[in-house]
Structure 1
Amino acid sequence: MKKLLLLLTVFLSLQTAFAQNDKETLQRERQRLQQELKEIQDNYNKVKGQQKATLGQLNMLQNKMQLQNRYIGNINNEIKLLNDDIYLSNVELTRLQRQVDTLKSEYARSVVYSYKNNSTYDYLNFIFSANNFNDALRRVAYLKSYRAYNESKVKTIKETQAMMEQRKQQLLAKTNQKQSALQNQKVQLNELEGQKKEKDQVVAKLKSQVSDLSKQIATKKKRDNQLRNQITAVIRREIEKAKEEERKRIAAAKAAEAAKPKASPNTSNNASTNTASTTTTAAPKAAPARKEAIPLNEGELRLANSFERSKGGLPWPVDNGFVSIPFGVSKVDNLMMDNPGLTISTQASGVTVKAVYDGEVSAVSNTGEGMMVMIRHGRYFTVYSNLSSASVSRGDVVKTGQAIGRAATADDGTGGQVDFMLMVGQNNVNPRPWLR
């Protein structure tokens, strides 16, 4: 029985420790979500009062709803943990109550026995009826230990009752926490409902602005097509340049090999004999090299690998910007747009645009709808377009955070806008997971 109680206590302690870790993880996640919700609300407040609805407003509301759903999910997980804690606390209280009942029953029997044999005559009779002096001493020691045993029972009962009271207070606190979490859940669900209504209003506005919206989308499609053609030409040029450098390197290596003095015939024969007499061991096969779309030299390979390791930690190309049009397909009513990168809006045009990582400027050109800067990071390229001006030139080596230009006016005429693309070779990838 004691072993079972001990195992149950250890199990409950471990469960409590794991639950505490889960709670701390949930708390950290909740704080992060609250911060993200605050940031997106601050950005939304800047454009909320505009007469015309924009795709940026819609995207921010959609992002906010996604965060809100995750926040509600976090609260649901907290409630589940609290339910588990409450259940385990009730199990512990039941165990402690049984333990107290058992201790009280044992103590009651001891008290009854002591009462029946508590007279001085019985006490002395028990001692003097001993066979010898040593036996009498043993009987005295027994009576003392029996009294100490009863006293320890009382102490154990009091300690267990104190522990029960402590567990009851903890259970009450957890019950209150659960009630608070349920109330918060209700508030956040109402908030989500309000966000849905606000999103529906923005969608309705956008539908009423279909003509203006289609013009904005047409302008962006035209700019994206021009940009795509220029990027393709730049990458093709970079590939040819890299291949030419690789051909020169191979030719130089062959020339250097040919220039080495040839070994004498005897040396060759000796070398052949030694080679033949030596037991050959097959060298382990090297891992297949990554097939590169663009040949990379050693420095470019290091830069590409360093860039790759920075995924999720790259700085934003502008300060205080927000994604107004996400990567990929966006749809409003019957209008559809496939964005090859991120369209980042700023509060005003003319804000500084910065390189997100070290690299070399591959191209600076006018797309017809603004300036474009393309930076190479080994096998990766970052493209910054819809700039009103560029402050770098082709061939410049830039550092992370270095200013490369300024944002032009947004397509809808509100604030500034930068189109940011990330490419691996000639393939577009979603830049958002790469940014902080």
Structure 2
Amino acid sequence: MKQVSAKWVLFFFVCFCSAWGGFAQSKEQEALQRKRTELLREINQIQQLLSQQGSQRKSLVTQMEGVNKKILVREQLNKVTNQQINLLSSEIKKNEKNIKELENELKVLKENYAEMIRKSYKNKSQQNRLMFVLASETFFQAYKRMEYMRQFRSHLKKQGAVIQDKTKELQELNQSLLAQRAEKQDLIEENRGIRAKLESEKTEQQELIAAIKQKEGGYLAQINEKKKEAERLEKEIDRLIKEAIAESRRKAAANGSTVSSASNTFALTPEEKMIANNFSANKGKLIWPVERGVVSIGFGKYSDPVYPGLVQDNSGVNIIAPEGEEARAVFEGEVINITITLGKAIVYVKHGNYITTYCNLAELYVKKGDRVIAKQPLGKIFTNKHTGKTELKFLIYKNTDKLNPELWVYKM
């Protein structure tokens, strides 16, 4: 009895593992498909934004950024498509094995069924069955023989139903296999196109690098100007945040509140503490500061694609957006300052002891002291008439510490 139970436990365990494996692979395929769809959308967005800039793209730096972004996303798409192909190959191999096992199982079932039919045919007459029962030596034996015939007929019927079910399962598996092979072939063809475009973009990149090196002085001058502008911007933001911190501490002291000894932290009211906690709880879930756009330069240090020895540091993220796009608040808060640098506005929104900063705005929809909610437009992003580029620089601070927006904004 224990041996039988152990066999059944093993049987159900194998069935469960097989079902779970199929479920896990299906979920992985769905996740890869979602990722592929997102990358295709991003490539389409980048292409539209670059096309929008058109012949106005006179800046070598701008052109290089656009090409590099396309190559980066295209390489990710190539990787995801390869993963999908590999997963499909694994599923196809598994299905081929299942089909072979099912065919063998069906063959045995049919042979057994045929043998049972032959035996049934030999004893098909009512007289033979009656004689079989009457030949019993005891009443109990007669009862057992009658029960045997009943069970035999029932088993025969069940075997027929099992064969029908297995045949249907085999047909469905074969159809699934054909669909998987077709899907795999489509992905292979699509990946050929992706690789062809990738090679074309890399050729464009090399041609651009060659053109840049011929005009090395102009390119380096543009890089240096961008670097100086970024440094000026960062110093201005640091100064204003420190002023805001000092002001919050003065107000708290004047109201008799306890102020921490750390001079570089905000003194928060109970309401501000709640907002800060909510902001912190939404790490990785904040909305984008634009409705449409792609990240052109990420957070932190990065090497120049033409001169790898030339390392730059980005204190936020740069987002390219369509012309006319608006910057919007990523979370509820208060506009604590607005400054104008080189004719472009910067909006500072305070969320407790967090600050989000929106740089390079041409028009403003808010003023200092305004309370804002998530998705509320703050202003229109500036479009450079020489390059045709509409770009927002977005930063997040906690007190005076710079944070990586890519870790805070959903799927940035």
Alignment partner of 1:202 is 2:174: no
In structure 2, C-alpha distance between the alignment counterparts of 1:303 and 1:154, rounded to whole Å = 68
**Letter of the 2:265 counterpart:** A
Distance in 1 between residues matched to 2:325 and 2:164, nearest whole Å: 71
Q: 2:403 is matched with which residue?
A: 429
1:259 corresponding residue in structure 2: none
Summarize the Cα distance change of 1:344–1:243 in structure 2 as closer, same or farther, 3 Å threshold.
same
Partner of 1:262: none
Aligned equivalent of 1:272: none
Contact 1:373 1:384 in 2 (8 A): yes
5+ residue gaps, structure 1: 254-289
Greater mean deviation of Cα atoms: 314-323 or 375-384 = 314-323
Q: Secondary structure at the match of 2:83?
A: helix
- TM-score normalised to structure 1 length: 0.74
Match of 1:14 among 15, 20, 27: 20
Matched, 1:300 2:306: no
CA distance in 2, matches of 1:379, 1:432: 19
Aligned-pair distance for 1:41? Answer: 2.0
- In the alignment, residue 218 of structure 1 is paired with which amino acid? N
Taking the aligned partners of 2:264 and 2:385, their CA distance within structure 1 comes to: 37
Distance (Å, rounded) in 1 between the aligned partners of 2:367 and 2:123: 107
Aligned length: 400
Aligned to 1:362: 336
Q: Once the two structures are superposed, what CA deviation does each residue of 1:148-193 show, in whole Å capped at 9, x if it has no partner?
A: 5445444544443343333333333333333333333333232322
User: 1:240 corresponds to which residue?
Assistant: 246
Secondary structure, aligned partner of 2:265: coil
Residue 304 of structure 2 is matched in structure 1 by 331
Shift of 1:39: 1.6
Change (3 A) 1:108 1:6: farther
Measure how far apart 1:301 and its partner are.
Answer: 1.8
Task: Report the alpha carbon displacement of residue 379 of structure 1 after superposing the two structures with TM.
Answer: 1.6
Select which of 332, 338, 342 maps to 2:317. 342
What TM-score, normalized by structure 2, do the two folds share? 0.78
Counterpart pick for 2:355 among 362, 368, 381: 381
State the distance in 1 between where 2:121 and 2:379 align: 97
Is the contact between residue 355 and residue 399 of structure 1 (CA under 8 Å) also seen in structure 2? yes
Question: Displacement, 1:313?
Answer: 4.4
CA–CA distance in 2 between the matches of 1:132 and 1:319? 89
Q: Which amino acid aligns with 1:294?
A: F
Aligned in 2, Cα 1:8/1:87: closer, same or farther, shift over 3 Å?
farther
1:333 partner amino acid: V
- Secondary structure at 1:363 match in 2: strand
Query: Alpha carbons of 1:89 and 1:368: their partners in 2 closer, same or farther (altered >3 Å)?
Result: closer
Identical-pair percentage: 27
Letter in 2 for 1:377: H
Q: In structure 1, the residue corresponding to 2:268 is in which secondary structure?
A: coil
Q: Which residue of 1 aligns with 2:223?
A: 217
Alignment check: 8 A CA contact 1:216 1:411 kept: no
1:297 Cα offset (Å):
2.2
Matches within 5 A, 1:127-138: 127-131=133-137
**8 Å contact kept, 1:388–1:406:** yes
What one-letter code is carried by the residue in structure 1 that aligns with 2:237? I
Match of 2:30 in 1: 24
For the residues of structure 2 that align with 1:36 and 1:96, how far apart are their CA atoms? Answer: 44
Q: Which amino acid aligns with 1:365?
A: T
Q: Over the residues paired in the alignment, what is the CA RMSD in angstroms?
A: 3.9
State whether residues 74 and 198 of structure 2, in contact with CA within 8 Å, keep that contact through their aligned partners in structure 1. yes
Which residue in the other structure is 1:168 paired with? 174
Please give the alpha-carbon distance, in whole angstroms, between the structure 1 residues aligned to 2:134 and 2:33. Answer: 70
Q: List runs of 5+ in structure 2 lacking aligned partners.
A: none
Give the structure 2 partner of residue 287 of structure 1.
none
2:347–2:357 contact (8 Å) kept in structure 1:
yes
Q: Deviations over 1:225-269 (max 9, x none)?
A: 33333333323322322222333344x78xxxxxxxxxxxxxxxx
One-letter identity of the residue aligned with 2:272: E
- Write out aligned runs for 1:64-143 (5 A): 64-110=70-116, 113=119, 125-131=131-137, 139=145, 142-143=148-149
- Between the aligned partners of 1:124 and 1:344, the Cα distance in structure 2 is 90
| Structure with the greater alpha carbon radius of gyration | 1
CA shift in 2, pair 1:150/1:209, >3 Å? same
Mapped contact 1:130–1:136 kept (Cα < 8 A): yes
The one-character-per-residue Cα deviations of 1:404-434 (angstroms, maximum 9, x if unpaired) are: 4454453954344443332222222333443
